[in-house]
């Protein structure tokens, strides 16, 4: 990367690249979990849930793009082999083997909560040391917070509908 751009970073750049590479793996796994979940999801409200999952998939892929660009800018290389995703991920992967809406929603809420934790930690680390990464992480965190809220609102609607059907 540009020498002055690197000079202004007040932390170990290799350590920062390592953390970003892990987040990059999370984003690809989240992308795939959402993308496939959107196709498989079954049960009440599956159309609304599928549309939301697909939108989130697109946004997770955008996060992977943003994180990759920053890793490269810092002089690092994003993970080149998908088999590494499992080794480096913070948040793991929940296979959508049970396509029931509620199961899919609960799995993805768990993923978003993990992502929020990951990006909050990255914000804390870069707050006083790297304004460029901090700004990027903030943008991603804003969307992860939105994702969690979207999914929790859908889950709440689902529960209310199930309750109404029983009455
Ligand atoms: Fe994301
Ligand atoms: Fe997300
Ligand atoms: Mg959304």
For 122-150, what is the mean pLDDT? 97
Nearest ligand, measured from the Cα of 49:
3
Q: Is residue 2 part of a domain?
A: no
pLDDT tens digits for range 29-83: 999 999 999 999 999 999 999 999 999 999 999 999 999 999 999 999 999 999 9
Please state the domain count of the chain: 1
CATH number for 134: 1.20.1260.10
- What is the 8-class DSSP label of residue 155? H
Distance from the alpha carbon of residue 59 to the mean position of ligand 2, in angstroms: 7
Q: What distance in angstroms lies between residue 77's CA and the mean position of ligand 2's atoms? A: 23
* Residue 11 near residue 130 (C-beta atoms within 8 A): yes
Give a yes or no: residue 1 inside a domain. no
| CA 80 / ligand 2 centre spacing (Å) | 22
Angle made by CA atoms 148, 41, 112, in degrees to the nearest 5: 20
Measured from the alpha carbon of residue 34, the closest ligand is 2
């Amino acid at each position: 990367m540009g020498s002055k751009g690197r000079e202004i970073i007040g932390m170990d750049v290799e350590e920062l690249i390592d953390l970003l590479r892990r987040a990059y793996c999370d984003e690809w796994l989240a992308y795939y979990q959402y993308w496939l979940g959107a196709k498989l999801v079954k049960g009440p409200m599956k159309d609304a849930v599928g549309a939301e999952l697909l939108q989130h998939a697109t946004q997770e892929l955008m996060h992977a793009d943003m994180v990759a660009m920053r890793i490269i800018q810092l002089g690092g290389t994003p993970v080149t082999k998908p088999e590494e995703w499992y080794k480096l991920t913070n948040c793991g992967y929940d296979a959508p083997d049970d396509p029931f809406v509620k199961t899919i929603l609960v799995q993805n809420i768990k993923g978003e909560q993990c992502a929020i934790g990951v990006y909050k930690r990255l914000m804390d680390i870069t707050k006083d040391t790297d304004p460029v990464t901090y700004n990027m992480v903030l943008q991603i965190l804003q969307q992860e917070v939105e994702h969690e809220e979207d999914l929790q609102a859908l889950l709440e609607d689902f529960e209310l509908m199930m309750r109404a059907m029983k009455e």
